[in-house]
Amino acid sequence: MTKKDKKPDPTNMDRDEGSSVVVEERQHLKELRERSSKKDSCIQFYCKECRGLTAVTKHPKKYVFKCNFCEAKQVAFGTEASIHKFFHLKDDEPMLTEEDYKKRMIMEEEEMKRRDARRKERAARTAK
């Protein structure tokens, strides 16, 4: 292929050289780059045990992250967009705080107690 055969890159063309379609396409590409670089560049960490966005500590010699709240190693990481899409989070989902974590643990303990009580009741009914 020679230089003459190559198609011009619409992102590098000046306004005077291209038609209005090329200019619009170039502007559209520029907007897409700006939007994607702002949203996708931020790495987020999601603790599967806490079920929330969390702060983590990296193991010094391994590529393993540990949740700062529950000490679990089941931490997923990725771009902001991918984490929100995969775990079905809202776009304005806040980071998990220590207070939120404590509230969730209390609620889960209460739920476990309720489930155990129901199981015991069912077991007592079937034993009769």
Give dist(CA 91, CA 106) in Å, integer.
26
110 with 124, same domain? yes
Check residue 121 and give its pLDDT.
93
75 with 56, same domain? yes
51 with 86, same domain? yes
Paired tokens of 100: 């939120």
For residue 9, give its domain range.
1-35
Paired tokens of 61: 């010699």
User: What tens digit of pLDDT does each residue of 23-66 get?
Assistant: 777 777 777 666 655 555 688 899 998 888 888 999 888 889 99
Q: What is the pTM of this model?
A: 0.53
| Residue 25 contacts residue 55 (beta carbons within 8 Å) | no
User: 1 or 63: which carries more pLDDT confidence?
Assistant: 63
Q: Residue 105 corresponds to which amino acid? A: M
Give dist(CA 49, CA 75) in Å, integer.
8
CB under 8 Å to 72, separation ≥6 — which residues?
47, 48, 49, 50, 66
Paired tokens of 26: 């170039």
Paired tokens of 77: 């990481």
51 with 15, same domain? no
Whether 71 has a pLDDT exceeding 70, the answer reads yes
87 with 103, same domain? no
109 with 121, same domain? yes
Question: How many domains does the chain fold into?
Answer: 3
Given pLDDT bands bounded at 50, 70 and 90, which one contains residue 111? very high
| Residue 75 contacts residue 45 (beta carbons within 8 Å) | yes
User: 105 or 33: which carries more pLDDT confidence?
Assistant: 105
State the chain's mean pLDDT as an integer: 80
90 with 58, same domain? yes
Whether 21 has a pLDDT exceeding 70, the answer reads no
11 with 29, same domain? yes
89 with 47, same domain? yes
Give dist(CA 40, CA 42) in Å, integer.
6
